Amino acid sequence: MKIHYSPSPAAANTLSTEALRESFLIGGLFRPGEVIAHYTDLDRMIVGGAMPTTAPLALPSAKETGTEFFLARREIGILNLGAPGAVRVGAERHELGTLDCLYIGLGEKDVTLESSAGGQAQFYFISTPAHAKHPTAVVRRADVKTDPIGDPAKANRRRINKLIHVDGVKSCQLVMGFTEFEPGSVWNTMPPHTHSRRTEIYLYFDLADQVVVHLLGEPTATRHVIVRDREVVLSPAWSVHCGAGTGSYRFVWAMGGDNQTFSDMDAVAMTALK
C-alpha cells in the first residue's frame, strides 16, 4: 500500500507538473487479479480499486492501518464500476450490478470481492477511520432518484447521486456518491468551493478517450492536472476542486472529516479565482 503525503499550500505553488501529479493524482488502480490501495495523510483516507478475475480478492491487511485486519478500526464504501460482481461480508454475499454501492461498517473481518460469470467487476473503494459501527447496506443504482441541478447555459447541468449520507445509508464519517451530466454539460462544481473541515477525493470515470482539466490549489493560486479515465484526484481541505471535461464523463466523490453535512462548504467567488 503506497502512502501519500500532501504538500502545504505554499509548497504546492512551487511544484513542477510531474511533482504536482505525483502529489495529487493517482492512477493504475484497476489491474486484473489485483487489489491496489493508497493510504493518504488526508483524514487518513484509503482509496483503492480491485478487479477480481477467476479468484476472489480480499481487502488488504497492511502495516499502514496498524490493525490486525483492514476494517478493525475502519469503514468502507465500495462502488462497482464494471460488470456485475459480488462482495462477501462474513457469511453473506451481496450482489452488485453496475453502479451499485455497498457500505461495510467497523469490525467486519472477512471481506472478499468477486466477479460474476462472463464479466469482470471493477470495484472502487474509499475507506475512512471509524469509531462506531453501522450495519452493512446496499444502495442500488436503480433506487437512487435525484433531480438535476445547474444551468445548461453554464454547461453544468448535472445530477448528484448520494449513496452514503446522513439521510440514506448511515456511516460513521464517510460520505460518498457520484455525479453525472446531462448532454452538453461539462463543468462540475463551478463556482468552486473548499471544505476547511473535510477532505474530498474524486475518481473520474466513463471518460473513454476524453480528458478532464481539474483545478486544484488555493483559490488565489490555482493549479491544474489533466485527468484520464479512472484516475483519482486528492483534494485537501484548503484546495478548490472542480473541472471541465472535453466530453461526457462521471465522477465519484467521497468525503471524510469533522462532519457529514453535504452542504458544509466554503464558497469561492468567481472574482476571487486566480
Q: Are residues 152 and 264 in the same domain?
A: yes
Domain of 254, CATH number, reads: 2.60.120.10
Stretch 94-113: mean pLDDT, rounded?
A: 96
Q: Are residues 162 and 234 in the same domain?
A: yes
Smallest Cα–Cα separation from 244: which of 138, 156, 122, 134?
156
Residue 47, domain member (yes or no): yes
Residue 14, domain member (yes or no): no
Q: Are residues 30 and 103 in the same domain?
A: yes
The residues, ordered by sequence, that sit 6+ positions from 37 with a Cβ below 8 Å of its Cβ are 1, 2, 46, 47, 48, 60, 62
Residue where a domain terminates, one of 141, 173, 206: 141
- pLDDT for 43-61, tens place per residue? 999 999 999 999 999 998 8
Task: Give the model's pLDDT for residue 259.
Answer: 67
Could you give the 3-state DSSP secondary structure of residue 141? helix
Residue 181, domain member (yes or no): yes
Residue 150, domain member (yes or no): yes
Residue 230, domain member (yes or no): yes
Residue 262, domain member (yes or no): yes
Q: Are residues 149 and 268 in the same domain?
A: yes
Q: Are residues 229 and 124 in the same domain?
A: no
Residue 218, domain member (yes or no): yes
Q: Are residues 32 and 85 in the same domain?
A: yes
Q: Are residues 182 and 263 in the same domain?
A: yes
Q: Are residues 125 and 227 in the same domain?
A: no
d(CA 254, CA 24): 15
Q: Are residues 160 and 65 in the same domain?
A: no
- Tally of structural domains, the chain: 2
% of the chain surpassing 90 pLDDT: 79
Domain residue limits at 166: 145-272
| pTM score, whole prediction | 0.94
- pLDDT for 213-222, tens place per residue? 999 999 999 9
Q: Are residues 63 and 178 in the same domain?
A: no
Q: Are residues 127 and 167 in the same domain?
A: no
Handedness of CA 165, 169, 173, 176 (dihedral sign): negative
Residue 19, domain member (yes or no): no
Q: Are residues 112 and 161 in the same domain?
A: no
CA 127 vs CA 5, 46, 69, 106: distances in Å:
17, 5, 13, 10
pLDDT at 119 over 90: no
Residue where a domain terminates, one of 124, 141, 158: 141
Residue where a domain terminates, one of 120, 141, 162: 141
Provide the mean pLDDT of the chain. Answer: 92
